[in-house]
Amino acid sequence: MNGLILSRLLAAGARSLMLGLALAAGLHAQAAEAAGPAPVAAVTDYRLGAGDVLHIVVYQNPDLTLDVRLSDSGFISFPLLGALKIGGLTVPETEGLIGDGLKKGDFVKNPQVTVVLLQVRGSQVSVLGQVNRPGRYPLEAAQTRLSDLLALAGGVITAAGGDLVTVVGTRDGKPMRVEVDLPRVFASADRSPDIVLQNNDVVWVDRAPVIYIYGEVQRPGAVRLERGMTLLQALAAGGGLTQRGTDKGIRVHRRVATDRIEVVNPGMDETVKDGDVIYVKESLF
């Protein structure tokens, strides 16, 4: 009998514990929902743009606390100050602008303004060329790097995409064009080649360089040109020579100018170039 009573008491205690945990989890979820979306990591040099969402707090002035989205023209409407042009400003500059306005208008004696960037929607970058999902992508977070954006676009197409990526945009009011060697981005701990993107940048992923092989080879056609590929490696990529093929007198047609092509006879250890056309002759014996 005592064992039965004890087991019932333990079962009741377990139900009470589970009920308490469920109640606590529910209260935690409600608190998280009331708190709103998590802020984007603060970055002082990010420039605000149309569509960005801000959470603005003025210390000890709850009536001046609000969430606001920048209009297409970069304006927000703020209590007591009216329309403010903050598009193109950083978060600290926006805090200073609102604080100065409240102080000069004698609305708040010593305003302490905090601006939190909740969502980044104003800055967008175009991704074109040899990626799996080309298109226009928002910079969801400040300090978005080239590798982050390529990941959003599904990465470089394995068979067709090259190692060279071109980024075109504007920096400090001047045109900017940078060529990024993707393997170099991951070759060391130095992240400087993995450049930080800004609004209206255009990323172009070029095609992979190719060579063309025809004649007495196992797999004639286009072959991706790897770095430092020699003629011997190119022939191996084409499956090697057929039984009737010969490695004597292999000809390479190479474009040396826009309107001029030369025929060269490189050695097996010489490198081939983008666009080379390799012809393997048939053996006479």
Domain ranges of the chain: 53-119, 124-207, 210-280
Q: Which structure tokens are listed for 52?
A: 């960005």
Class of domain 53-119: alpha beta
> Half-sphere exposure (CA, 13 Å, Cβ side) for 247?
12
pLDDT attached to residue 273 = 93
Same fold, 53-119 and 124-207: no
- Is the distance from CB of 199 to CB of 214 less than 8 angstroms? no
CB atoms within 10 A of CB 13: 10
Contact 144, 191 (CB under 8 A): no
Model pLDDT, residue 50: 84
Fill in the DSSP letter of residue 8: H
- 203, 144 in Cβ contact below 8 A? no
Whole-angstrom distance, CA of residue 178 vs CA of residue 171? 11
User: Which pLDDT score, from 0 to 100, does residue 221 have?
Assistant: 94
pLDDT at position 118 is 86
C-alpha span between 231 and 243 (Å, rounded):
19
DSSP assignment of 39-81: PPPP-TTPPP-TT-EEEEEETT-GGG-EEEE--TTSEEEETTT
Average pLDDT per 10 consecutive residues for the chain, totaling 285 residues: 44 46 40 44 67 92 94 93 92 94 94 90 87 88 84 90 92 91 84 87 94 94 92 94 88 88 90 94 80
Domain 210-280 indexed as CATH 3.40.630.30: no
pLDDT at 44: 54
Torsion of the alpha carbons at 129, 135, 136 and 137, rounded to the nearest 10: -100
Global pTM?
Answer: 0.59
For domain 124-207, which architecture applies?
A: Roll (3.10)
State the pLDDT at residue 225: 92
Q: What CA–CA distance (Å, rounded) separates 181 from 86?
A: 36
* pLDDT, position 26: 43
Provide the sign of the torsion angle of the four alpha carbons 7, 13, 14, 16, taken in this order.
positive
Res 142: pLDDT: 64
Closest CA to 113 of 159, 42, 57, 35: 57
